[in-house]
Structure 1
Amino acid sequence: MRMFVMAAGLVAMSGQALAADLPLKAAKAPVPAFDPWDIAFGGAVMSDYVFRGITQSNHQPSVAAYFEPRYNVNKDLQLYIGTSAESISFANHAAAEIDIYGGVRPTFGAVALDFGLWGYLYPGGQCQESFPGGVAVCPPGSPLANGPDFTQIKKDLSFYEGYAKINWTINDSFALGANEYYTPSFLNSGAWGDYASVTAKATAPAKWFGSSGVGAYLSAEVGRQWFGTTDAFYRVTAAPVGIAYPSYNTWNIGIAFTYKAFTLDLRYSDTNLSKGDCAALTSAFNADIPGNITAINPNGFGSNWCGATGIVKLSADLTAMTNLK
């Protein structure tokens, strides 16, 4: 009996020693909690604010800023709302563009989609009519008193667009995209507007810049803007109930350099709009190029607001979850 007890003790001690020699299983690292909320924000300064090939700042410098809260339903579905502001120089003396937008961004592998609604607000505007000898302020929304064949623009140019976008990231170097925007009343003119474009982007290999953190890419866009007919506020003698805004093509190409949250973009932009049609479409307050008579511009003064221009833009884009942790 005594021998049995001693043997049992030796077995127990041996078992404890063997257990001590066994490797312990590593404790599982805690899985970080998924935080679906994020905020994107940033700003830019540019030599010219160009929208679909047409300057919004009279070819003068402009500043911009944006703020965009986001909610990630999962890794492939994002909801967002946002607001942005840009300094402008419009013919109705509005000095700022305020944008309010929102939508949804679903992702399917290498294909990213974006659907939403974008509102453009232009506070501080005044109804204007330019005519030989001066500028008159006209009653909002009413026909002009001095005749139809002069430059005209409404006090309120605010409007909205629905949009759909697709971007296909082919690989780390190349991406293709397409965009579609539609509004029932472009710049509150009464003329419907439809804009469609295709885009391409080629990103330089990271090894080109070593460990500097600098990146670069080439990008380009080719688009077409279609228009309907305005309401009677914009009229000429030959079209007393509204003018058919001229549809046009636009394109831009540029190179951009990136470093952390900053991007320096150097871009060329142009359209095929004539100077006369440009003046009628934009109501440019400095349209003074004679000899540009068109069907919707009987006075013949043209504008360079829709012509070729170079743009230098420095921007910063950050997100709270990435840059502010």
Structure 2
Amino acid sequence: MRRQGVASVRRLRDASCAALVGLWLAPITGALAQANPPGPGSAIGLGNRGWSGADTNGQTSANGLEFSARAGVASDYIYRGITLSDHGPAAGAAFETRFGPLYAGTTVATVKLPTEPAAEFTFAGGIRPKIANIDFDLGVTYFAYPGERLPGETNGINYWEAVVRGDRRIGEHIRVAAGFAYSPNVSNTGAWSQYAAAGVGYDVPGHLLPQNLAVSFTAAAGYSWFGNQAAQLGGFPLPGYLNWQAGVTFTHEAFNLDLRYYDTNLSKENCFVFTGDPNARPGGRVNLVTNPDGLVSNWCGATFVAKAWFALN
């Protein structure tokens, strides 16, 4: 490989890992986290992070100060269709405080990313008003990745994102949700990011289930698009892509089990450009601007994930 090619690959990996890291196990507002879910484990996931407290405990407080927490493990760490754990297991925990419609919280999660951070931490706050028949969530989240061993040309990948989401129930058992997220500098790459998503959920009637068991089927799809990265990272825009997921969640008192399928329409070549996968291999289609060595990654393909956690109020 030519020296110029090696340098290009290194720049690509620095840029791409920065783009990737901003993705998954989110803040208590979670990227498009659940505004007012009907019950533990039944949130419609719109690109929200894995153990976000708001994902299952986002209801507003009616009686002063309230707290919620959750912790669990998953067979993979998927965020908007892309693994943040190199398709390996991950663990995480979240804590949230609510006072009326106001909320604030934090999460921590294990990750395996190109910059090699010690963990992922998120800090979030916002408001969850109810307008007409729609439960809204408006929040801001800061993503932090301490202890990065390979921070790259951008000197780290910390960044923030603003989100707005709305949920509405249709009848007794059907729910719909939609949301939008924006970051002015995703993963410290210099590129703005936007994400729009929508989903639907169905809660199985309680009289059809054993006592203290709840079952919810949910599915959602979203699209991400980006601006140009900083000049030192190549100056080109990160590849936009579609992601989708569907699955079922079982809840028994505080215990939750989710079984879910994830996928994206990213090619293996663009998957490398986006993620900077350090285990990418040659053999793909060459793009002289974004991927001059034709490296390919499997971090963005079809994945089945089992996730279990406990949620406490």
**Under a length normalisation based on structure 1, what TM-score does the superposition of the two structures give?**
0.75
1:300-319, Cα deviation, whole Å (9 max, x unpaired) = 11101011101100022221
Give the Å deviation of 1:109. Answer: 5.3
Correspondence for 1:287: 280
Identity rate, percent:
34
1:245-301, Cα deviation, whole Å (9 max, x unpaired) = 100000000011111122110000000001111111111111115223234111111
What is the alpha-carbon root mean square deviation over aligned residues? 1.4
Match of 1:93 among 116, 124, 127: 116
Measured in 1, the distance between the counterparts of 2:150 and 2:306 equals 32
Matched position secondary structure for 2:259: strand
Match of 2:255 among 251, 255, 262: 262
Correspondence for 2:14: none
Measured in 1, the distance between the counterparts of 2:215 and 2:113 equals 33
- C-alpha contact (below 8 Å) 1:115/1:165 kept by paired residues: yes
Match of 2:86 among 51, 58, 65: 58
Match of 1:276 among 269, 281, 304: 269
Matched position secondary structure for 1:233: helix
Measured in 2, the distance between the counterparts of 1:203 and 1:292 equals 44
- C-alpha contact (below 8 Å) 1:275/1:292 kept by paired residues: no
What is the correspondence of 1:117-266 to structure 2 with a 5 Å cutoff? 117-127=140-150, 141=153, 154-210=154-210, 212-235=211-234, 242-266=235-259
Measured in 2, the distance between the counterparts of 1:224 and 1:62 equals 25
Correspondence for 1:39: 67
Give the Å deviation of 1:169. Answer: 1.1
Measured in 2, the distance between the counterparts of 1:206 and 1:100 equals 35
Rg bigger for which structure?
Answer: 1
Give the Å deviation of 1:219. Answer: 0.2
Measured in 2, the distance between the counterparts of 1:306 and 1:227 equals 17
Measured in 2, the distance between the counterparts of 1:289 and 1:271 equals 21
Unaligned runs of 5+ in 1: 1-33, 73-77, 129-139, 142-153, 236-241, 320-325
Unaligned runs of 5+ in 2: 1-61
- C-alpha contact (below 8 Å) 2:268/2:284 kept by paired residues: no
1:67-106, Cα deviation, whole Å (9 max, x unpaired) = 111101xxxxx10000001110000111311000000001
- C-alpha contact (below 8 Å) 1:126/1:156 kept by paired residues: no
Of structures 1 and 2, the one with the larger relative CO (CA 8 A, separation 6+) is 2
AA partner of residue 129 (structure 2):
P
AA partner of residue 237 (structure 2):
A
Is residue 102 from structure 1 mapped to residue 125 from structure 2 by the alignment? yes
1:178-219, Cα deviation, whole Å (9 max, x unpaired) = 011000111111111000100110000101114x21110100
Correspondence for 2:306: 312
**Under a length normalisation based on structure 2, what TM-score does the superposition of the two structures give?**
0.77
Q: Stretches of 4+ moved more than 4 A in 1?
A: none
1:101-153, Cα deviation, whole Å (9 max, x unpaired) = 0000011354200001011111111336xxxxxxxxxxx53xxxxxxxxxxxx
Measured in 2, the distance between the counterparts of 1:43 and 1:118 equals 19
AA partner of residue 259 (structure 1):
H
Measured in 2, the distance between the counterparts of 1:82 and 1:122 equals 17
Aligned residues: 251
1:140-171, Cα deviation, whole Å (9 max, x unpaired) = 53xxxxxxxxxxxx441111100000000112
- C-alpha contact (below 8 Å) 2:114/2:150 kept by paired residues: no
- C-alpha contact (below 8 Å) 1:110/1:168 kept by paired residues: yes
Measured in 2, the distance between the counterparts of 1:299 and 1:289 equals 7
